[in-house]
Amino acid sequence: MEDYRNLKMQMHDMEAGCSAMAWETQDGKHLWGRNFDHSRIAEGSQIIYLPEGTSYTMWRPELKSGEEDKTKYACLGTGFTGIWQAPVLYEGINEKGLAGGQLYYRGFARYESACKSGTRKLQPPFVVLHLLAQCGTVKEAVEMIEEKITLMDTKLLGTVPPLHWAFYDRMGEMAVLEPEENGVRIYRSTIGIMTNSPGYEWHRINLLNYAGLRDLDYEEADFGTEKMQQCFSGSGAQGLPGDFTSPSRFVRLAFLKKYAVKGRNEEDGVVYMFRLLQNVSFPLGAVRVTDQGHITEYDKEVTPYDYTVYTSVMCPESLRFYWNTYDDLQIRYVDLNHLIRKKEILLFPLENRGEFMCLS
């Protein structure tokens, strides 16, 4: 019963606000990363390695037997194993270089009540793992969603989290998948930015409201009879929204992706990308939530605020999974290449308290 209640809260913890982006380096490496923003993170959340041949759940209603599969490709990402030893991933990367994750889609996500003919049932919390486990490219992931599975409106321990997804591969394409009233709407070759509700198309059109933003300062302001010289930098981006809402974070990341200097190589690119994602992160205390949902003794370090619990970045070429946490800005990584021959599930701690380095 304790395991049941614990996993039930872990399902609620998937309902987190987040930001994600795709980027490149000057030498042609691809990067995909996200912020995980919430008031807590489920006890037991870790970096998980799942080898080829690992059994996992696709659909399982309320502790009954359901549908399962085995991983075709090894996967690495953030998540938890939960009850039944059924792994769930929030985001991750596989051995073929397909990367992606889930983000909160409150008020808009719609799922099916009946399974479409010729498809298999899949619950929303298991989408990330299933696509990473079975698909090697964005094209294959899209085909899986369109032709082979039905996203079911089936509760898992009392809840159906409202989610949408982004996936990215070595070709540099980021696709967005959004479950709506008439099925999953798929956006190919997007601008490489994703936040939360409303949907991607709304965010894309909303960028037209900020078409005048630029990186270059305005040299002077002309007021007819008087011309005034600028006395500060950044005037080209005046009007760039700075709050923590989903629309504002989308615009801010789109601006940064367009103008920010790309890293020369993967190492530079990863550091620069963490810096960009900091620009849409939630400082602890700045976003107080009105409804935290039901809290139990199993929730870990619950706060009255949403904050950026962790940030992760993945490289489809090197197969490295990088991350840091709110309490420790040190960037750590796990290299999937080093694990690919391992035949057992491996867990790596998400959180480690960093140390201050004294040089005097």
Digit-coded pLDDT (tens) for 215-233: 999 888 888 889 888 889 9
Q: Which has the minimum average pLDDT: 4-8, 79-83, 131-135?
A: 4-8
Residue 47, pLDDT > 60, answer yes
d(CA 37, CA 324): 13
Residue 239 lies inside a defined structural domain of this protein? no
> What is this structure's pTM?
0.93
Neighbours of 137 (CB within 10 A): 17
d(CA 85, CA 108): 30
Tens-place pLDDT, residues 237-249: 999 999 999 999 9
Contact criterion met (CB below 8 Å) for 265 and 25: yes
- Give the model's pLDDT for residue 299: 55
Residue 212 lies inside a defined structural domain of this protein? no
Residue 339, pLDDT > 90, answer yes
- Give the model's pLDDT for residue 64: 73
- Give the model's pLDDT for residue 302: 81
Residue 240 lies inside a defined structural domain of this protein? no
Using pLDDT thresholds of 50, 70 and 90, give the confidence band for residue 300. Answer: low
Residue 58: how many CA atoms within 13 Å on its side-chain side?
18
Residue 193, pLDDT > 90, answer yes
- Give the model's pLDDT for residue 11: 47
Tally of structural domains, the chain = 1
Residue 20 lies inside a defined structural domain of this protein? yes
Residue 298 lies inside a defined structural domain of this protein? yes
Residue 220 lies inside a defined structural domain of this protein? no
Concatenating the DSSP letter of every residue in 190-207 gives: --SEE-SSS-HHHHHHHG
- Give the model's pLDDT for residue 61: 83
d(CA 111, CA 96): 29
Tens-place pLDDT, residues 148-176: 999 999 998 778 999 999 999 999 999 99
Average pLDDT over residues 9-26: 75
Q: How far is CA 185 from CA 19, 76, 145, 164, 290, in A?
A: 19, 26, 10, 10, 30
Using pLDDT thresholds of 50, 70 and 90, give the confidence band for residue 292. Answer: low
Using pLDDT thresholds of 50, 70 and 90, give the confidence band for residue 83. Answer: low
Please state the three-class secondary structure of 264-312 as a single string: CCHHHHHHHHHHHHHCCCCCCCCEECCCCCCCCCCEECCCCEEEEEEEE
Average pLDDT over residues 291-308: 70
Q: Which has the minimum average pLDDT: 20-29, 134-143, 278-287, 298-307?
A: 298-307
Nearest-CA neighbor of 303 among 284, 329, 280?
Answer: 284
Using pLDDT thresholds of 50, 70 and 90, give the confidence band for residue 287. Answer: very high
Average pLDDT over residues 316-343: 97
Domain that holds residue 193: 2-200+261-349
Residue 54, pLDDT > 50, answer yes
Residue 211 lies inside a defined structural domain of this protein? no
Contact criterion met (CB below 8 Å) for 232 and 225: no
d(CA 10, CA 156): 10
User: What φ, ψ does residue 6 adopt, rounded to 5°?
Assistant: -65, -50
Rounded mean pLDDT of the chain? 92
Assign residue 319 a region: left if phi > 0, alpha if psi is -120 to 50, beta otherwise?
Answer: left
Neighbours of 330 (CB within 10 A): 11
Q: Residue 140: is it exposed, middle or buried by C-beta count within 10 angstroms (0-12/13-18/19+)?
A: middle
d(CA 65, CA 61): 7
Task: Catalogue the active-site residues.
Answer: 18
Residue 221 lies inside a defined structural domain of this protein? no
Report the CATH number at residue 71.
3.60.60.10
| Alpha helices for 80-137 (secondary structure H) | 127-134
Give CA angle at 169 (167, 172), nearest 5°.
Answer: 105
Structure tokens at 156: 């898992």
Residue 84, pLDDT > 90, answer no
Residue 16, pLDDT > 70, answer no
The percent of residues in the chain predicted with pLDDT above 90, rounded, is 78
Name the DSSP class of 359. Answer: -
Average pLDDT over residues 17-25: 96
Task: Calculate the CA dihedral of residues 163, 317, 192, 351 and round it to 10 degrees.
Answer: 50
Residue 40, pLDDT > 90, answer no
